Structure 1
Amino acid sequence: MADHPHEHEHSPSVKGASVNGPSFQGHGHSHDHGPATPASRRLRAVIAAVLIPFAVAVVAGMVLMWPGRLPAHASTGLGFDQPTVSGRVTATKAAPCDAGAASTASATSATADACSLVSVAITSGKDSGRTVQLTLTPDQTAVYSAGEKVVLDYSPTAPAALQYTIGDADRSMPMAILAGIFALAVVLVGRLRGLAALVALGISFAVLSQFVLPAILKGEDPLRVAVVGGGAIMLMALYLCHGLSARTSVAVIGTMVSLALIGVLGEVFIGLTHLTGNTSDETALVHSLFTGIKLPGLLLAGVIIGSLGVLNDVTVTQASSVWELRAADPTMGARALYRSGIRIGRDHIASTVNTLVMAYAGAALPLMLLFTIANRGVWTVATSEIVAEEVVRTLVGSIGLIASVPLTTFLAALVASHNGRPAAAPASIPAQARTTAAAMATTASATEAGTAGRHRHRR
């Protein structure tokens, strides 16, 4: 594989000189470190021999497990699987809890004047233009004001007075604005590569929504679905963002092996710790609707998918670091490149592992508050299933992350060190620059000759 033609590597104007002639690199950019050596070609052939079958297996897996249409399920009567329409709040006022045409929650324990009567104008669907009166009880934490847009759940089989209930606030506009600001920032800073990253993000979302989630719901093994879907995301995102190059291929192999390690460790320790994966209301509800889903496998799939993004970050960074070290000093061999690259990797490990732990801690903050209130011991809390699930997820992902650093650094050092030596003084270098380099080489030769003569005189 050849490095991507648009990936430029900077080199100083004058690298140095030797007695055999100038080792000089001009002011422009070089695409590689010279012609690939036979060893480099062999290494790249090995990389291709690993990645091409993997890519073929991923494509075959997606074809074989492609979900098609989802199986039907009985309606739960809850808002998430009901039709929805848009609405706009026109007025709100305090009212007795038995007022209004419909109530979105039971009012048996509410006081007579503790509820809110909300008037909502329907703005989409067959009843667009109609205004409905809805009662919100004190146990509902959402507060709505006039002019606010909302999402209404529609139950066509319910009595006319109870067909519409407020499901949620309509967050379409602020979310779209935030997404637009994010996309603009990525493109302004990352330019074409930032645009490629946005396209890769869209592809990742499409793979998750069109393949991974439907395939799991249809009854496929969650582990196999996660491996195939994660492999597809990894291949498309990395090559799209970073180009078809040996550098990217090294990062792909490092990510692939690390994900395999995470999968093995996850399966082993989910079994050893007897985690069922049924620790939330959402999981229980999904399992009740689709009883064929294997919850421990779903937990393992979540570990793999959740580790993919940070693994991509680490492996790409390590591979790029080694290539830049080689660009800065083309005389560095594999051993020197590995030692320098692993020092960078240790800093990356220290910061990223802490990032993973803090991310999971932030997501589980309400749960941690509950355990703090209960005054239970730290070890008792950590070994309870609901917390142990997150602990296993974090530690397994971190072990894979740690393993990816030396593995990717070693592969990158091995491949980069065999990319060949820089070519001597290209013809495009200006005559004055070549003359300067030749003069420096002559001076170096004279200095070395004089030094050798003094050593002989002393002897």
Structure 2
Amino acid sequence: MGSDHSHSAPPAPPRVRRILVATVVPLFVATVLAAVVLWPRDGSPQTDGGADVPRYHGTVTRVVTEPCPPAPTPEGGPSAGPCGTVEVRVEDGPNAGQQVQTPIPAGPGAPRVAVGDDVIMVELTDPTDPAASSWNIAEHQRGTPLLWLAVVFAAAIVAFGRWRGLAALAGLAASFAILLTFVLPGIAAGGSPLLVAVVGAALIMFVVLYLTHGVTAQTSVAVLGTLGSLILTGVLATIATAATHLTGFGSEDATTLSMFQADVDLHGLLLAGIIIGSLGVLDDVTVTQAATVTELANANPGLSRLQLYRAATRVGRAHIASTVNTIVLAYAGASLPLLLLLTADTRPITQILTSEFLAQEIVRSAVATLGLIAAVPLTTGLAALVTAAGSAPTGDAPRPRPERADVLAALSRPRAGRPDPEHTPPPSTATDQWPEPDRSTKTAW
């Protein structure tokens, strides 16, 4: 479908490849063995969520609005609307093809319906009279719009990335498969959330990086840098959450989860979230640093290990500066409703910042950033060692510099084909040190 936009890296020397294989393969085997040991075998745990209410697809055929009756309040004003009825044609289930009537959804978060909307219906049965039932609109059907969005998403990635984009889609599918079949069931089954998250993140890293970027020395360097930074992030997260006495009950979702599954370690779940969230940014940084070192070495094979490291680190600093803002904004955007609620809090700002919820988000951002900062020198150093090992034997020797007299002579000589009427010949004692007038300096430069 087309060639990659980047230059292919030269093959690493056999000795370097052997070292990388001897390092990466045992780590991959250990990750697979840990995943096999931690893989949930008892199935999904039983929760207290109650029986699922049957849900059916329907299409709105008619909406009738009417004035709302007086609310049961001392003022006696109209109750909150809208009020009226909705006629819906049931599309599946035992009542397929029938027209049912339901009240217009009302209340906070209620869906707003119009004729032609595809909705989800639920049938509620009266416990005292099983023969009596009522219908209600639960929400809109979102399957078709989401399907089209997924198609556009995949088409754009493949159109731009070509084979690399197709590999990225396969890596994305593999990531979700590992999350849904190993990480989430493993935590729900009572496993250590931190251990399950580290193993799951390492498994995702191996599959996605090699699938997307190929089995190369450059990818292996990114894998080692990501794994080392991931372990450091887990250690820092454990220390930070212990020092700040975070319990994991900093959000309403965590509190609700504790009601349905009391055996879930919410503190460990917080650590697992930090690990999984950091992985998505870590592999971006490590792959970029490894590719930067490779491209610099291809552009100038004479660069030494130290020169490669310094040049690529400057790129990493710029990358980290923008990524830090990305991390903070991502966490803030995900928690925007709650942050807006906190602005109406009358407590002092110091108490708000040290509350469980905000302290949890601050720890997330700080720990993820520290892991990213550590990933840059670690990955860049490994990449410089591997890349310089494949260059000339004198890769650490500085490039020869031209003599000072040659440089001055080249700068002073007029351009070829352009006589300089104002040029005054130097004294005879120095003319023999200047290059001949017809000599070209293009080769030297």
Shorter-chain TM-score range: 0.7 to 0.9
Residue 24 of structure 2 aligns with an amino acid whose one-letter code is L
TM-fit CA distance, 1:146: 1.2
In 1, are the aligned partners of 2:4 and 2:164 still within 8 Å (CA)? no
Describe the shift of the 1:307–1:108 C-alpha distance in structure 2 as closer, same or farther (beyond 3 A): farther
Aligned twin of 2:399: none
Aligned residue pairs total: 390
Secondary structure of 1:417's counterpart equals helix
Aligned twin of 1:408: 379
Aligned twin of 2:222: 251
TM-score for both structures, normalised by structure 1: 0.78
Describe the shift of the 1:156–1:31 C-alpha distance in structure 2 as closer, same or farther (beyond 3 A): same
2:279 aligned with 1:304: no
Aligned twin of 1:14: none
Describe the shift of the 1:168–1:112 C-alpha distance in structure 2 as closer, same or farther (beyond 3 A): closer
TM-fit CA distance, 1:218: 1.1
TM-fit CA distance, 1:275: 1.3
In 2, are the aligned partners of 1:116 and 1:137 still within 8 Å (CA)? no
What are the residue-to-residue correspondences of 1:53-452 with 2, within 5 Å?
A: 53-68=26-41, 69-76=43-50, 81-95=52-66, 111=79, 114-135=82-103, 136-154=105-123, 159=130, 161-162=132-133, 164-421=135-392
TM-fit CA distance, 1:189: 0.7
Which whole-Å CA distance do the structure 2 matches of 1:404 and 1:300 have between them? 19
Which whole-Å CA distance do the structure 2 matches of 1:174 and 1:333 have between them? 53
| Larger RCO, structure (CA 8 Å, separation 6 or more) | 1
Describe the shift of the 1:394–1:322 C-alpha distance in structure 2 as closer, same or farther (beyond 3 A): same
Partner deviation per Cα, 1:361-412 (whole Å, 9 max, x = no partner): 2222222222222244433222110111111111111110111011100100
Which whole-Å CA distance do the structure 1 matches of 2:160 and 2:29 have between them? 35
Residue 130 of structure 1 aligns with an amino acid whose one-letter code is Q
Which whole-Å CA distance do the structure 2 matches of 1:161 and 1:225 have between them? 48
TM-fit CA distance, 1:294: 0.3
TM-fit CA distance, 1:420: 3.3
Aligned twin of 2:10: 32
Describe the shift of the 1:413–1:7 C-alpha distance in structure 2 as closer, same or farther (beyond 3 A): farther
In 2, are the aligned partners of 1:94 and 1:113 still within 8 Å (CA)? no
TM-fit CA distance, 1:141: 3.6
TM-fit CA distance, 1:156: 6.9
Where does structure 1 lack aligned partners over 5 or more consecutive residues? 1-5, 11-29, 99-106, 423-446
Where does structure 2 lack aligned partners over 5 or more consecutive residues? 394-405, 411-428, 434-445
Which whole-Å CA distance do the structure 2 matches of 1:197 and 1:401 have between them? 22
Residue 29 of structure 2 aligns with an amino acid whose one-letter code is V
In 1, are the aligned partners of 2:226 and 2:282 still within 8 Å (CA)? yes
Partner deviation per Cα, 1:251-281 (whole Å, 9 max, x = no partner): 0111101111111111111122111112333
In 2, are the aligned partners of 1:9 and 1:327 still within 8 Å (CA)? no
TM-fit CA distance, 1:120: 2.1
In 2, are the aligned partners of 1:258 and 1:403 still within 8 Å (CA)? yes
Residue 347 of structure 1 aligns with an amino acid whose one-letter code is A
- Tell me whether 289-298 or 65-74 shows the greater mean CA deviation: 65-74
Describe the shift of the 1:9–1:75 C-alpha distance in structure 2 as closer, same or farther (beyond 3 A): closer
TM-score for both structures, normalised by structure 2: 0.80
TM-fit CA distance, 1:74: 3.1
Which whole-Å CA distance do the structure 2 matches of 1:160 and 1:140 have between them? 30
Secondary structure of 1:165's counterpart equals strand
Using the aligned pairs only, state the percent identity: 45
Which whole-Å CA distance do the structure 2 matches of 1:256 and 1:112 have between them? 55
Which whole-Å CA distance do the structure 1 matches of 2:83 and 2:209 have between them? 53
Secondary structure of 1:219's counterpart equals coil
In 2, are the aligned partners of 1:95 and 1:113 still within 8 Å (CA)? no
Residue 179 of structure 2 aligns with an amino acid whose one-letter code is L
- Tell me whether 323-332 or 162-171 shows the greater mean CA deviation: 162-171
Partner deviation per Cα, 1:195-227 (whole Å, 9 max, x = no partner): 000011011111111111111111111111111
Which whole-Å CA distance do the structure 2 matches of 1:42 and 1:223 have between them? 36
Secondary structure of 2:162's counterpart equals helix
Describe the shift of the 1:275–1:402 C-alpha distance in structure 2 as closer, same or farther (beyond 3 A): same
Residue 143 of structure 1 aligns with an amino acid whose one-letter code is R
Describe the shift of the 1:386–1:204 C-alpha distance in structure 2 as closer, same or farther (beyond 3 A): same
Secondary structure of 2:389's counterpart equals coil
Which whole-Å CA distance do the structure 1 matches of 2:81 and 2:306 have between them? 77
Secondary structure of 2:201's counterpart equals helix
Residue 341 of structure 1 aligns with an amino acid whose one-letter code is A
Describe the shift of the 1:119–1:7 C-alpha distance in structure 2 as closer, same or farther (beyond 3 A): closer
Which whole-Å CA distance do the structure 1 matches of 2:286 and 2:187 have between them? 28
When Rg is computed on C-alpha atoms for both structures, the one with the higher figure is: 2
Secondary structure of 1:32's counterpart equals coil
Describe the shift of the 1:293–1:351 C-alpha distance in structure 2 as closer, same or farther (beyond 3 A): same
